[in-house]
């Protein structure tokens, strides 16, 4: 159950207040830490397709339509416990439990509301999910879930709190899916958009991310175009993703217009040079007809001058047309010497891109004081850095060197 702390709420213009909980603008959810790595998904219902659930019902001696009922219970009624599958025969429920099946939902532990209406939910220490309700240009309500793909992150981008907290393990597919369901429950509203921009590097956990993506699309019924996968770049994975021909957006976190500067900001850049990333992004467009979006965190005095903007525009023109840049003013994190750029610098950077025919948008910062803004997701309960949990060799480990 969510424990909600509310502070004074001064919502941004576009923020919506949720009725029941006076939650507005943004919420972060944290799920319980799994002390030892859970075994494979094999006995978790969440994440299974209708066909797989029908097969399971048949395997347990039930009519196939029971599988359809299971699907409805999991994804429409969002029931969290087999015990509460009240329209299924008791014998079937017992069979499921006896065979070791479980739904795969974790209790949400904690919630914090920021002064701008941000809500943050946390458990013992691990993954956090952010819910961001906004009204779009046409006035309709959107609810975006910003989901985590790993417990911590091994890539250690120099300005990101998650990376500073270390890395423990990949999330399993149901652990990604349940974050979306938890946000729906908290806001009492359907999630319309999903961004893989929470803790972790999605491309280091691509299998689970793709499975979760498929389930969110087919079973939870979130349109592919409403989902974005964000990566700082992991060699060979953009190609792999392209082969799935998703209609979702791929966002690549650049943060610098040249390799030299990028290496100082993003340590993993050493193993994946900028020109190789740009080539893969161009190929991605050719393969999927979906243009990659670029993210650029603006760090005062480091990468935020007009000259940097012009260099970035030139880089993008060199590799294609019609690219869009999403600018993210640095969200301060503990122990970092980086500074947030002045509004004037952000506006000048954006204007320089636009005047060089690169469309740009500035990501509205919300949730700063609940540490739920971009890059701030790091569990307050986690006092010491995470270490990789290698106790289960079935968990894929990152396949690029852990730098710094």
> Where along the sequence are the contacts to ligand SAH (CB under 6 A)?
157, 159-160, 197, 201, 230-232, 253, 295, 297, 328, 330-331, 333, 374-376
| Closer CB to ligand SAH, 92 or 284, in the complex | 284
Q: Which two tokens stand for residue 191?
A: 């999630």
Q: Per the residue annotation, which of 146, 157, 215, 374 is the catalytic one?
A: 374
Compute the least distance from the CB of residue 160 to ligand SAH, in Å: 4
Name the residue nearer to ligand SAH (CB basis): 57 or 157.
157
Minimum CB separation from ligand SAH for residue 378, in Å? 10
Task: Provide the minimum distance between the beta carbon of 275 and ligand SAH in the complex, in angstroms, as a whole number.
Answer: 19
Report in angstroms the alpha-carbon separations of 120 from 127, 371, 398. 11, 8, 28
Residue 250 DSSP SS3: strand
CA 382 from chain centre, in angstroms, equals 19
Residue number, 193 or 376, with CB nearest to ligand SAH? 376
Between 47 and 375, whose beta carbon lies closer to ligand SAH?
375
Strand partners, 48: none
Choice between 79 and 157, CB closer to ligand SAH: 157
The first and second tokens of residue 175, run together, are 């652990």
**Are 38 and 389 within 8 A, CB to CB?**
no
Residue 102 DSSP class: B
d(Cα 207, Cα 357) in Å, to the nearest integer? 36
Phi-psi region of 333 (alpha: psi -120 to 50; beta: other; left: phi over 0): beta
Identified catalytic residue from 128, 175, 201, 311: 128
User: Which residue in 323, 225, 331 sits closest to 277, CA to CA?
Assistant: 323
CB of 242 to ligand SAH, least distance (A): 17
Q: How far is the CB of 382 from ligand SAH (least distance, A)?
A: 16
The residue of the chain with the least Cβ separation from ligand SAH equals: 375
Give first-to-last CA distance, the chain, whole Å. Answer: 38
Examine the residue annotation and report whether 374 is marked as an active-site residue of this protein: yes
Closest by CA to 147, choosing from 131, 163, 129, is 129
Tell me which residues are annotated as active site: 128, 374
């Amino acid at each position: 159950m969510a424990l909600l702390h509310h502070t004074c709420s001064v919502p941004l213009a576009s923020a919506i207040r949720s009725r029941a909980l006076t939650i507005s603008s943004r919420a972060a959810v944290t799920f319980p830490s799994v002390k030892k790595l859970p075994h494979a998904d094999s006995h978790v219902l969440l994440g299974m397709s209708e066909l797989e659930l029908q097969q399971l019902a048949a395997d347990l001696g039930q009519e196939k339509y029971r599988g359809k009922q299971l699907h409805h219970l999991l994804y429409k009624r969002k029931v969290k416990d087999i015990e509460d599958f009240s329209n299924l025969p008791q014998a079937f429920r017992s069979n499921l439990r006896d065979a070791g099946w479980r739904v795969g939902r974790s209790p949400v532990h904690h919630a914090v509301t920021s002064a701008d209406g941000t809500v943050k939910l946390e458990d013992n220490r691990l993954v956090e999910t952010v819910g961001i309700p906004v009204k779009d240009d046409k006035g309709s309500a959107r609810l975006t879930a910003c989901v985590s793909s790993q417990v911590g992150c091994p890539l250690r981008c120099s300005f990101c709190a998650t990376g500073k907290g270390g890395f423990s393990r990949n999330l399993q597919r149901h652990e990604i899916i349940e974050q979306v369901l938890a946000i729906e429950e908290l806001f009492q509203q359907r999630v319309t958009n999903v961004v893989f921009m929470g803790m972790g590097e999605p491309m280091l956990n691509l299998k689970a991310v793709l499975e979760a993506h498929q389930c969110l699309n087919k079973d939870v019924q979130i349109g592919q175009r409403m989902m974005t996968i964000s990566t700082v770049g992991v060699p060979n994975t953009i190609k792999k993703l392209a082969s799935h021909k998703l209609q979702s957006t791929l966002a690549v976190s650049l943060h610098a217009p040249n390799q030299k500067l990028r290496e100082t900001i993003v340590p993993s850049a050493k193993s994946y040079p900028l020109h190789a990333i740009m080539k893969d992004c161009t190929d991605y467009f050719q393969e999927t007809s979906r243009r990659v979006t670029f993210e650029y965190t603006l760090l005062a005095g480091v990468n935020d001058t007009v000259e940097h903007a012009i260099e970035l525009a030139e880089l993008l023109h060199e590799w294609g047309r019609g690219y869009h840049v999403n600018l993210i003013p640095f969200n301060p994190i503990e122990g970092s010497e980086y500074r947030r750029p002045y509004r004037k610098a952000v506006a000048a950077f954006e204007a320089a891109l636009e005047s060089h025919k690169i469309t740009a948008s500035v990501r509205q910062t919300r949730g700063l004081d609940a540490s739920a803004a971009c890059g701030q997701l790091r569990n307050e309960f986690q006092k010491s850095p995470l270490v990789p949990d290698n106790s289960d060799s079935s968990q894929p480990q990152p396949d690029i060197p852990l730098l710094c």
